[in-house]
Amino acid sequence: MKKYFTILAAALVSLSFSAEAQKVAGWEIGIQGEFGRDWYHKSYAPEVIYGEQILNFSSSRSWGAGFYFEKPLNTRWSVLGQAGYAQKKIRPQLFYYPSQTASQSYTRELHHRVEADAGMRLYLNPESRLKFFVEGKLGGNIFLSIVQHEATYGEIVVKDVFGFQRVAPVASGSVGLKWSRLTISAEYRDDLMVSRRSDQRSGISGKGLFGKVGFALLKGGR
């Protein structure tokens, strides 16, 4: 009799885990867009006299688009990753102010970047159709190029990004909600290190706040 009770208990445990597994959604791949603003702090080496330069400034707008991947581990936790392109509109000559003639007049400056990160998401009410979540991620962004617009000469592409480090590690935290294939969230990002120029005389660090919208294109099994 004891043997039968043991078999019955094992079967009940197995069925319990099986039922829980049936509740776990499958992986999904989707597209997403973001819009927000970055805030920057410019620092200098102690021996540099920087005079009247602006040390704290922001982008006038920052937007991006890309793809994301999410794979549930159970009903509450999932792993996710994302990658995409981002463009930042900056007031000209704030990242770097090189020597120039008085006749030069810069009217626009765009920064082009690629961003990627990965992390964990926690659903606070996994049984609901409208799910609220928090998430944390680590990743990095790659500074691709800068495009300036000068009144006389037109577009000027700065491929060496004024000598700043191209790759910077980034941490981010988000809160949001998910309904069916749609995800809406607010995300805060912070650079984990100062990106320094090759001459080590100045550096830039940044943080940003973004609204994001995602839509699942593909959904698969567990």
**pLDDT tens, 65-121?**
999 999 999 999 999 999 999 999 999 888 876 655 555 688 889 999 999 999 999
Q: Are 37 and 205 in contact (CB under 8 A)?
A: no
Look at residue 113 in the predicted model and tell me its pLDDT.
Answer: 97
| Domain boundaries along the sequence of the chain | 26-219
Question: Which residues, including other chains, have CB under 8 Å from residue 145's CB and lie 6 or more apart?
Answer: 111, 112, 157, 158, 159, 161
CATH architecture of the domain 26-219 equals Beta Barrel (2.40)
Look at residue 51 in the predicted model and tell me its pLDDT.
Answer: 64
93: buried, middle or exposed (CB in 10 Å: 19+, 13-18, 0-12)?
middle
Q: Are 91 and 39 in contact (CB under 8 A)?
A: no
Look at residue 13 in the predicted model and tell me its pLDDT.
Answer: 39
Q: Residue 103 carries which side chain, given as an amino acid letter?
A: S
Task: Look at residue 162 and give its three-state secondary structure.
Answer: helix
pLDDT band at 59 (very low <50, low <70, confident <90, very high): very high
**pLDDT tens, 20-46?**
444 667 899 999 999 999 999 998 887
User: What is the distance between the alpha carbons of residues 91 and 110, in angstroms, rounded to a whole number?
Assistant: 9
Q: What does the pLDDT average to over 183-211?
A: 94
CA angle 147, 82, 160 (to 5 degrees): 25
**pLDDT tens, 133-178?**
999 999 999 999 999 988 888 888 999 999 999 999 999 999 999 9
This prediction has a pTM of 0.83
